[in-house]
Amino acid sequence: MPLRLAVALATLLLAACTSQPLKPDQRDPLEKLNRSMYTLNDGLDRAIARPVARTYRRITPAIVQTGVSNFWSNVNYPTTIVNEFLQGKPRAGLSDLARFLLNTVAGVGGLLDPATAAGLDRNDEDFGQTLGKWGVPAGPYLMLPLLGPSSIRDGTGRIADRYSDPVNYLEHWEWRYGLDGFRLLERRARLLPVTDTLQDVYDPYAFIRNAYFQQRDYAVHDGNVDAAPADEGLDLPDDDPAPQD
């Protein structure tokens, strides 16, 4: 799960702890298949990813964890820069290009974050957001193997984003897949405080789905969630939770 999902998860937690099973959600026509995939992902997470992430958090000094987090943020930044220009945000794109260059050179390959101290804000954009910016609806909800919650639009965006990922251009596949695995581990470790709270949620699958849609709606519209219909073109019943993508 993307880190921004943590914000939405934390926001919805109190309400979800006392929630009842939701009626069928028109955003999720593949719910039966998605729930099966969620069960598989959750089983793998409990058996492998979560214990490894907890071990990483326990044995790795905090300063090293911060450096690793900075490094991966910097590696992912070309995707943000490309999509800012695709969204018609040249000022943000140039600012983030400066941020990327400063952290890469002065920040020892991104391990340090001098750009923040220099007043350059950190942004996060992807091709799914770009498609949403230009009016492409989210489409049906998808629970992807290993990668977690997504949608038809955002799943397609993941494929496009791979072409702006520097790791994708490493010559040896062993390095590519090894670094991808390490990136997922670091991301999973950062999400531990949030996902641990899901133990008290009545229906974690529906909770994650709703949090995902809410977070994506916020991201696509740069926080201006009233700027566009929240349902992204899907006709939802009045008693359904507000769509969140």
- Nearest CA to 34 out of 199, 150, 196 is that of 150
Residue 226 within a domain: no
> What is the pLDDT confidence band of residue 235, given thresholds at 50, 70 and 90?
very low
Section 191-214 average pLDDT: 89
Residue 81 within a domain: yes
Q: Which tens digits make up the pLDDT trace of 63-102?
A: 999 999 999 999 999 999 999 999 999 999 999 999 999 9
- Positive or negative, the Cα torsion across 94, 162, 231, 37? negative
- Nearest CA to 126 out of 150, 146, 105 is that of 150
Q: Is the pLDDT of residue 44 over 90?
A: yes
Section 17-45 average pLDDT: 84
d(CA 214, CA 219): 9
pLDDT of residue 167: 96
Q: Is the pLDDT of residue 4 over 60?
A: no
d(CA 165, CA 170): 10
Section 209-231 average pLDDT: 81
Residue 236 within a domain: no
pLDDT of residue 24: 81
Residue 241 within a domain: no
> In this structure, are residues 102 and 118 in contact, taking their beta carbons and an 8 Å threshold?
yes
Residue 235 within a domain: no
How far out from the chain centre does Cα 36 lie? 21
Residue 230 within a domain: no
Residue range(s) defining the domain that contains residue 10: 4-220
> What is the pLDDT confidence band of residue 225, given thresholds at 50, 70 and 90?
confident
> In this structure, are residues 109 and 150 in contact, taking their beta carbons and an 8 Å threshold?
no
Residue 160 within a domain: yes
Residue pointed to by tokens 């995707």: 79
> What is the pLDDT confidence band of residue 196, given thresholds at 50, 70 and 90?
confident
In which region does residue 148 sit, left (phi positive, over 0), alpha (psi from -120 to 50) or beta (all else)? Answer: left
Which tops the pLDDT comparison, 106 or 17? 106
Residue 23 within a domain: yes
d(CA 163, CA 210): 29
Section 155-168 average pLDDT: 96
> What is the pLDDT confidence band of residue 204, given thresholds at 50, 70 and 90?
very high
pLDDT of residue 226: 65
Give the single-character DSSP code of 106. Answer: T
pLDDT of residue 20: 44
> In this structure, are residues 155 and 142 in contact, taking their beta carbons and an 8 Å threshold?
yes
| Domain count for the chain | 1
